[in-house]
Amino acid sequence: MGSSSLWDLVQHPRLLLMMLVLGIGGSLQAGFQGSMITYTSVHVKTFINESWLERSGMPVHPESLTLFWASIVSIFSLGGLLGTMASGYFTTKFGKKKCLLGTNLIMLSGAVIMGFSKVANSFELILAGRFLCGISTSICVLLHPQYVGEISPKKLRGFANSTASIFWSLGKVLGQVMGQREFLGNASLWPLLLASHGVTALLQLLTLPFFPESPPHLFLSKGDEEGCRKAMKTLWGRGPHQVELDDLRKQQSALWSTKSVLEVMKDPALRRQLYILFLLAVTLQLTGIHTIYSYTFEVLQTVGFDDDHIPALSLGISLSELLSAVFCSVVIERFGRRVLLWGGYGLMATVLAAVTLTISLQHSFSWMPYCSLALIFCFVICFGAGPAGAGASVRMEIFDQSSRSSSYVISGVLNWIGFFSIGMVFPFVVERIHQFSFLIFMGTLYVSAIVIYFILPETKGKSILEIREEFDKLNFKKKQALGSETSFAGDPVLCTKL
């Protein structure tokens, strides 16, 4: 984002404030939930054992304890999958603003339930609360990038979309900070750590009603042009905003009603967009970024660091992603989405190859573990500065208003299934092939970089309708070529024997 774009952002303080409100109740929740749960592991297991002992008079069997803890962790994904599948229907029926307000109530309910689990001496309440948090978090994660992209003018859309990754990274940092023993990650305060996400949900619940629904939703879904104009003036300041309204009118004339998931998957005009969506979702799971965060302690132990140093190093890794995500929001309008995606994937793959090499040689040289740590930081920085923000922007921009909600449902289902599958399979892969498991991610990243380079058109500085027209040319290229050949075949041609 150049100096002119930065000035444009300063000129829209209410838009910037709404981005903040959407962020604290949006993707920040997902980042917080993902990092916070690691710091409650020991305390929750102790609580389960004590609760079981008080009920039955005997300690819980170790295998049962492992099963209970695994259920607490994985039921979040089950709730996430359920929330993802329901989000499309509720978004179409009630709009993004009302859906977010409803999910905040669900989030608060989950926080209260988990906060009182120790007082009630019931670990089952943690299960119920985690399930509710999974439902609400998945809906927030899907709606946040859609909403923030739709409320932004074209010249600020790239920056706005990249804020989803900024708040996700910020949530990871907050989860790790609050999970330290000096704050809430201790034996007496861990229920408050489980319930602390309710604070941000309450903040959004109290502040979001003062902001408008997105202009495209008001104009295209509700047919409320006056409400759309009012929302634009509220967010973008006074002005005719005629260019944006004309774009919405063109979209309205080109669009049918909102498409279901099945209709989106069958639509030939969305074929290439679905390929890109599938590629982004699969690559996100197979970049290795979630694995590094989910198994940060194990990865750093493999690299060769002491347990006392690992929490601080883990926090440093999250901070580096946050700073790189901010950097991405600054440069995304200058370099575009395409180069940040394929370039980021290529750099991440190269770094993973180097990580595999340094871990293999860590016992040969005393300084090699520090090289591995530096490369892990580089890997996270490459992800935050490129694919994290650019991927969020592309997912929003390549689908129009009629198919966007359903496309996010498809993406969300793929992400939740992939997250669960990788979490279940990767530990066994590590046991078998150790550091060479990163080579699987390396291969995926190189392939994705090449495919993105050839199939993704640049979306920077284009309206949603212009992006759709470009994809129409790509999706129907063969038919257009065939039509041209047919038209030429019927024309008389003068020629000589030569």
Provide mean pLDDT across the span 227-243.
86
Q: Is the pLDDT of residue 268 over 80?
A: yes
Q: Are 69 and 53 in contact (CB under 8 A)?
A: no
How far is the C-alpha of 446 from the C-alpha of 466, rounded, in Å? Answer: 29
Tell me which residue of 227, 174, 149 sits closest to 389, measured CA to CA.
149
pLDDT of residue 488: 42
Provide mean pLDDT across the span 137-151.
93
pLDDT of residue 291: 66
pLDDT of residue 213: 93
Q: Is the pLDDT of residue 423 over 70?
A: no
How many residues are given for the chain?
498
Query: Which has more pLDDT, 273 or 253?
Result: 273
Under the banding of pLDDT at 50, 70 and 90, the label for residue 487 is very low
Integer-rounded Cα radius of gyration of the chain: 24
Under the banding of pLDDT at 50, 70 and 90, the label for residue 128 is very high
Under the banding of pLDDT at 50, 70 and 90, the label for residue 281 is very high
Q: Is the pLDDT of residue 479 over 70?
A: no
Q: For tokens 């440069």, name the residue.
A: 331
Q: Using CA atoms of 415, 327, 247, 216 in order, give the dihedral in degrees to the nearest 10.
A: 50
Q: Three-state DSSP class for 161? A: helix
pLDDT of residue 432: 82
Q: Are 459 and 393 in contact (CB under 8 A)?
A: yes
Would you state the structure tokens that stand for residue 441, as one six-digit string?
């991610």
How far is the C-alpha of 54 from the C-alpha of 47, rounded, in Å? Answer: 11
Q: Are 241 and 233 in contact (CB under 8 A)?
A: yes
pLDDT, tens digit, 9 for 90 and up, residues 367-382: 887 888 888 899 999 9
Provide mean pLDDT across the span 474-486.
63
Provide mean pLDDT across the span 79-99.
91
pLDDT, tens digit, 9 for 90 and up, residues 454-467: 999 999 988 888 99
- Eight-class DSSP state of 306: -
Q: For tokens 């049918």, name the residue.
A: 256
Q: For tokens 């039921």, name the residue.
A: 75
Mean per-residue pLDDT over the chain, rounded = 87
How far is the C-alpha of 448 from the C-alpha of 140, rounded, in Å? Answer: 27
How many alpha carbons fall within 13 Å on the CB side of residue 97? 18
Among 50-64, 126-140, 301-315, 437-451, which stretch is predicted with the lowest mean pLDDT?
301-315
How far is the C-alpha of 185 from the C-alpha of 309, rounded, in Å? Answer: 16
How far is the C-alpha of 169 from the C-alpha of 320, rounded, in Å? Answer: 9
Under the banding of pLDDT at 50, 70 and 90, the label for residue 12 is confident
Query: DSSP letters of 217-273?
Result: IIIIIS--HHHHHHHHHHHH-SS--HHHHHHHHHHHHH--SPPPHHHHHH-GGGHHH
How far is the C-alpha of 274 from the C-alpha of 265, rounded, in Å? Answer: 7
Under the banding of pLDDT at 50, 70 and 90, the label for residue 444 is very high
pLDDT of residue 125: 96
Query: Which has more pLDDT, 227 or 154?
Result: 227
Query: Which has more pLDDT, 291 or 199?
Result: 199
Under the banding of pLDDT at 50, 70 and 90, the label for residue 486 is very low
Provide mean pLDDT across the span 417-438.
77
pLDDT of residue 256: 58
The percent of residues in the chain predicted with pLDDT above 70, rounded, is: 89
pLDDT of residue 496: 47
Q: Are 404 and 216 in contact (CB under 8 A)?
A: no
Burial of 139 (0-12, 13-18, 19+ CB in 10 A): buried
Provide mean pLDDT across the span 256-274.
88
Domains of the chain (ranges plus CATH)? 9-213 (1.20.1250.20), 258-460 (1.20.1250.20)
Provide mean pLDDT across the span 10-33.
92
For residue 455, the tally of other CB atoms under 10 A from its CB is 12
Q: Is the pLDDT of residue 156 over 70?
A: yes
Helix or strand (DSSP H, E) at 1? none
Q: Is the pLDDT of residue 428 over 90?
A: no
Crossing angle of the two packed helices 337-360 and 368-383, in degrees rounded to 10: 160
